[in-house]
Amino acid sequence: MTGRLRHYVCGSTTHDVGAMFRGEPRGVRSFPSGVFLYDGDDGRRVLFDTGYATGAWRTGWRGAVYRRLLPPIVDDADDVAARLRDDGVDPATVTHVVLSHLHPDHVGGVRRFPTATFVLTQGMLRTLAAPSLRSAVLPGLLPEWFPRARRRELGDDEFLDREVGGIHVSAVDLFDDGSYLVVALPGHADGHVGALVDGRVLLAGDAAWGADLLDAVPRLRALPRAVQFDPEAYATTARDLCTIADSGIRVVCSHDRAGAKDLLD
Ligand SMILES: [Zn+2]
């Protein structure tokens, strides 16, 4: 396989790591919002997540509460379409958008891809049908055409058992060629998924705040633990990802600093 995987930062937020985990030193850390573009065979262009929305969010008081708790740091240059254009990629050439889950820092750029096919899990469809408090800002962030967008809805029965890095996971082989596996990484949000690209890089979404914090998940304090959709599954997923990382597969969380732009070099 000869794909290319690029990383872009589309906004960021800050958090005190010591306030989130027992045993971590206090200190505010910046968490960039990553977007990942995969160029595969046949002109296939798959975007994983879309970052923050730039400009005003039309999300009312719920958006104001969210922004107070997790203040987005975002300007026009952070817009996913601007990031792609700056790198010589026409956003209209993106064929698929895989969303890890439907939180604001992952869906803000959905509106830039009206012609793409959106890959959605059953958990995401449930969230769209009845947004929880955490995802209540969704209607204001998603474009009005989203319900009519081209979609690939992944059925629960499409997720098949596979071995990845010595761990049994449930995954959908999106193009039936092993290049792009959508991997169930349950816990953070209903229907949360990652993507194993070329068998080498596992995009882990919000399975943890950072790949370096995966092994700190058991020390998560009560509040950040309670806001997970399924705290127990979240802990199990983090443990599995530690094993997968130990096997040599690179695990990259959405809020990691990835270093180089190209992730498969
Ligand atoms: Zn999230």
CATH classification of the domain holding 180: 3.60.15.10
pLDDT band at 235 (very low <50, low <70, confident <90, very high): very high
The total domain count for the chain is 1
Range of the domain at 29: 4-252
Would residue 263 count as lying in a domain? no
What spacing in Å lies between the alpha carbon of 33 and ligand 1's midpoint?
A: 10
Helix then strand then coil, in percent of the chain rounded to 5, is 30, 30, 40
Would residue 39 count as lying in a domain? yes
Would residue 130 count as lying in a domain? yes
Would residue 260 count as lying in a domain? no
Would residue 262 count as lying in a domain? no
Would residue 221 count as lying in a domain? yes
Whether 58 shows a pLDDT value over 80: the answer reads: no
What spacing in Å lies between the alpha carbon of 188 and ligand 1's midpoint?
A: 7
Alpha-carbon distance of 201 to 194, in angstroms, equals 10
| pTM of the predicted structure, to 2 decimals | 0.94
Helical residues (DSSP H) of the chain, grouped into ranges: 17-20, 60-69, 80-86, 104-107, 122-129, 138-141, 222-226, 231-246
Would residue 257 count as lying in a domain? no
Q: What is the reported pLDDT for 51?
A: 95
What does DSSP say about strands 167-173 and 117-121: parallel, antiparallel, or unpaired? Answer: unpaired
What is the per-residue pLDDT across 113-164, written as a single tens digit (0 to 9) for each?
999 999 999 999 999 998 776 677 787 889 999 999 999 999 999 999 999 9
What spacing in Å lies between the alpha carbon of 2 and ligand 1's midpoint?
A: 30
Would residue 34 count as lying in a domain? yes
Show the tokens assigned to 102. Answer: 């439907």
Kindly state the helix (H) or strand (E) to which residue 163 belongs, with its residue range. strand 160-164
Q: What is the reported pLDDT for 72?
A: 86
Kindly state the helix (H) or strand (E) to which residue 183 belongs, with its residue range. strand 180-184
Mean pLDDT of the chain: 92
What spacing in Å lies between the alpha carbon of 95 and ligand 1's midpoint?
A: 24
Tokens 């008081």 locate to: 61
Rounded mean pLDDT of 61-72? 80
Rounded to 5 degrees, what are φ and ψ at 30? -85, 135
